[in-house]
Amino acid sequence: MNKYFKNIGLLALFLFTVLSGYAQQENYMKLWYDAPAENWNEALPLGNGRLGVMVFGNPAVERLQLNEETIWAGSPNSIAHEKALKALPKVRELIFEGKYKEAQDLATSDIRSQTNNGMPYQTFGNVYISFPGHQDYTDYYRDLDIQNAVASVSYKVDGVTYHRQIISAFKDDVVAVKLSADKPGMITANILMNSPYDKTDPVSREDVIMLDGTSSNHEGLRGGVDFEGRVAVTTNGGSAISENGSISIKNADSATIYISIATNFKSYKDLSEDVRRKTISLLNAARKRDFETIKKDHSDYYQKFFNRVSMDLGKTEAIDQPTNLRIKNFSEQDDPQLVELYFQFGRYLLISSSQPGGQPANLQGIWNDMLFPPWESKYTMNINAEMNYWPAELTNLPEMHEPFIQLAKEVSETGREAARIMYDADGWVLHHNTDIWRITGPIDNAHSGMWPSGGAWLMQDLWERYNYSGDKEYLSEIYPIMKGSAEFFLDFMIPHPEFGYMVVVPSNSPENSHGGGEGNASITAGATMDQQLMFDLFTHTAEAAEILDTDEDFVQKLNSAKEKLAPMQIGRYGQLQEWLKDWDDPDDDHRHISHLYGLFPSNQISPFRNPELFESTKVVLEHRGDKSTGWSMGWKVNLWARLLEGDRAYKLLQDQLSLVGSDGGGSYPNMLDAHPPFQIDGNFGVTAGIAEMLMQSHEGAIHLLPALPDAWEHGSIKGIRARGGFTIENLEWKNNEIQEVTIKSNLGGNLRLRTASKLDLKNLDIARGENPNPFFKIYPIQDPIVKDKSKTTRPELPKYYEYDIKTEKGKTYTFYSK
């Protein structure tokens, strides 16, 4: 070769390597590792809402653990029963007599489900890709690129560099895997498929392998979900042969593997989908398209959602470490970009596990490798399912909220039967748990299951969606559901014989035991959280009716009932009481902090409107401590943010972003939340909490940088949403002071800004003292009962500026520091 051209070639190769490395560095939205996953908690999650994949990345044998969102044990059923109605008066009588353990035992035997306790979400199985001779490798690298929703693996064997790319394709609705090497003819592999169910051996059919089966029987209920998986391969060069239930690839330059999975599930009450036709149709359509085309359409669709929000908290040398080491060292090293990665990873998970038209994210999103996972991976409605959707509106993913709203519609249907049969009540009821079959009665035992307020919390979530969008068409759609929930509680609540308040009974403060009776019961009357939930339910339902100009008499009924609710109380330690009676124990470190619902996600407790209550929540959090299960620490990040204490919220963030240990929750090496074991709610809760540290909009204003920790001295966030129809298109700060903020008004109306920085408002239409926006409405609440004034304090709030600006629909407004 001519020396000149040889040097040009070397220069071109050098420039390509440098530029490729630069491009690689510029995409900081990657979880990356220098070793394969040794277990499930190190594998990397992919999902298209329906199909979940955990990628292990072993060079010799790749394991793709697979899920399909509708593979659940059992089949359509109801657990409503008439025995509960007969037991209800006696359970209430025992509670009012202080015989809590007897009441709990009777509720467990006679009110909870007499058949099953809900069905588990189940794995599909695995696809294995084995590569002969790849046991010894060097230069290993794997990652999950959450900018593009693609997982990749690369390594060297005998001087050849091998690459894998894996996607769970949004548009083509299949799992696709690209195998390639930097030398031709080097792709030789064998593909196997298995499943843990009985009678699910794979077979070859022409050029594909297929496996079918049926979900498990459980607690006397027959498994009814039929499923099928199919695998096909196309190669560039070489060959691919299907026989004996496996596919062999030989001497290909590259190969693309297509995996299609489907079930017979149509709805919670209909299992009539033609599973085989659907599987074949999806597979055949995908095989007509090459991997790069599928990947481009996949990433383009994904980025429509993901790219709406960006964040920059700065970068340090820690970014050069593998993700598992960054998590391990986070509490001891300066690594602000890991917070950004965790925030965006939560958004990635929500996009990947909750797509319009599908099922909502369950306790594990869509990622589960078991037939009977912990807590059966159901929808736990006493916080966990709601926490999954805390980031949906706030972090600009409203479409991802839609499956959860659909769940609300469906449980409002099944819950009518439970309300009527079990409690002789109008409306509908949902207890602490549901599953894909939308059961609504109490399950497990009365310690956790005898909590009928799941529907009320669900309605708070639906109302919040309206606060962000202002969509009256949506409000008219959900109003009948809100009304039905309120109707149930108007029938179900009764006066407390000792205090006179209208209370929910029987109930509990989710999963915690109280000090009444023998001190080992959970069942009670009028737990604080129930009273807070009823306040929100009655208030928001009444306001929805007024907005829609309907049900005037029902609104009066709701307002009258609200006046009879028990007010929040400050107990003998200066704490917000968890129960109607002052049973709180300062040594109680229970993971649930249910009575702080009024602080977050609700807005009933405020430093400006009820400062004593505000301070009483701090006492509770100090008693409970910081370290806990992962999702609980996620909740506490939000709570400390609402308490305007950024450094304490950041400390909880550090606790959560640490490798899981024997002392509680944290994160696994793959950044998934550890209860332990894995629960996805902690990821979603912290994502919301990080946003709450930077912007809040629940307190009659958009509060900018309300809980900014010292560690985030400089930074920016773009694209998050605020209540009232506003989008924070850009918020930049330096030296802990706002430099610039740009806000788009999607609905028009007055904008009230609250900030510690003084802003320049030249050339803006000021609206001093006017109501800022109907969606910023603040609801008056009853004054709290304070047992000992000497135990209460008022918060010392930093100085804030407030600005009212008149805005027009669709216009953008920019403010600078003064």
- Tens digits of per-residue pLDDT, 574-629? 999 999 999 999 998 999 999 999 999 999 999 989 999 999 999 999 999 988 99
- Helix H or strand E encompassing 334: none
Q: What is the pLDDT of residue 26?
A: 64
The token duo for 341 is 């990665």
Distances, alpha carbon 342 to alpha carbons 327, 345, 410, 685, 687, in Å: 10, 5, 32, 11, 7
CA distance 401 to 408: 11
Cβ partners under 8 Å of residue 24, min gap 6: none
**Can you name the residues that pair with 812 across neighbouring β-strands?**
744
Contacts of 8 (CB under 8 A, 6+ apart): none
Residue 219 Ramachandran class (φ > 0 left, ψ -120 to 50 alpha, else beta): left
Q: For residues 341 and 328, what is the distance between their CA atoms, to the nearest angstrom?
A: 15
Q: For each successive 10 residues of the chain (818 residues), what is the average pLDDT?
A: 40 37 61 98 98 98 98 98 97 96 95 96 98 97 98 98 98 98 97 93 93 96 98 97 96 98 98 98 97 98 98 95 95 94 98 98 98 96 97 98 98 98 98 98 91 98 96 98 98 97 96 86 96 97 97 98 96 96 92 96 93 95 92 96 97 93 84 95 98 96 96 97 97 95 94 91 73 78 87 84 92 92
Q: What is the pLDDT of residue 782?
A: 83
Q: At what angle do helices 681-694 and 630-642 cross, to 10 degrees?
A: 20
Separation CA 583–CA 650 (nearest Å): 31
pTM: 0.95
Task: Give the SS3 label for residue 198.
Answer: coil
Element (H, E) at 137: none
Contact 68, 50 (CB under 8 A): yes
Q: Which residues pair with 128 in a beta bridge?
A: 63, 192
Which two structure tokens, joined as six digits, stand for 467? 């606060």
Sequence-ordered list of residues with C-beta below 8 angstroms from that of 216, at least 6 positions apart, any chain:
73, 74, 120, 122, 197, 223, 371, 372
Q: In the sheet that 138-145 helps form, which strands lie side by side, from edge to edge?
A: 30-33, 138-145, 150-157, 160-168, 175-181, 254-263, 226-236, 208-214, 203-205
Which secondary structure element, helix H or strand E, spans residue 718, and what is its range? strand 715-718
Q: Determine the pLDDT at residue 792.
A: 83
Task: Note the Cα 196 to chain centre separation in Å.
Answer: 28
Tokens of 315: 């970068």
Distances (CA, A) of 172 to 162, 266, 352: 25, 19, 14
Length of the chain, please? 818
Q: What is the CA radius of gyration of the chain?
A: 28
Q: How far is CA 553 from CA 246, 459, 547, in A?
A: 67, 21, 14
Alpha-carbon gap, residue 169 to 634, rounded angstroms: 30
d(CA 431, CA 410): 14
Neighbouring-strand partners of residue 234: 256
pLDDT tens column, 686-717: 999 999 999 999 998 999 999 999 999 999 99
d(CA 708, CA 724): 23
| Model pLDDT, residue 11 | 41
The pLDDT, as a whole number, for residue 23 is 36
- CA 755 to CA 145: how far, in whole Å? 35
* In 424-503, alpha helices (H): 446-449, 454-469, 472-492
Contact at 8 Å (CB) between 442 and 426?
no
Phi, psi of 626 (to 5 degrees): -90, -55
Kindly state the tokens that stand for 105. Answer: 């035992």
Q: Which residue, chain included where needed, has tokens 């630069």?
A: 22
| Alpha carbons 527 and 512: distance in angstroms, whole number | 11
**How large is the angle between the packed helices 454-469 and 402-423, nearest 10 degrees?**
150
Give the per-residue pLDDT at 14.
Answer: 38
For 657, the 3-state DSSP assignment is coil
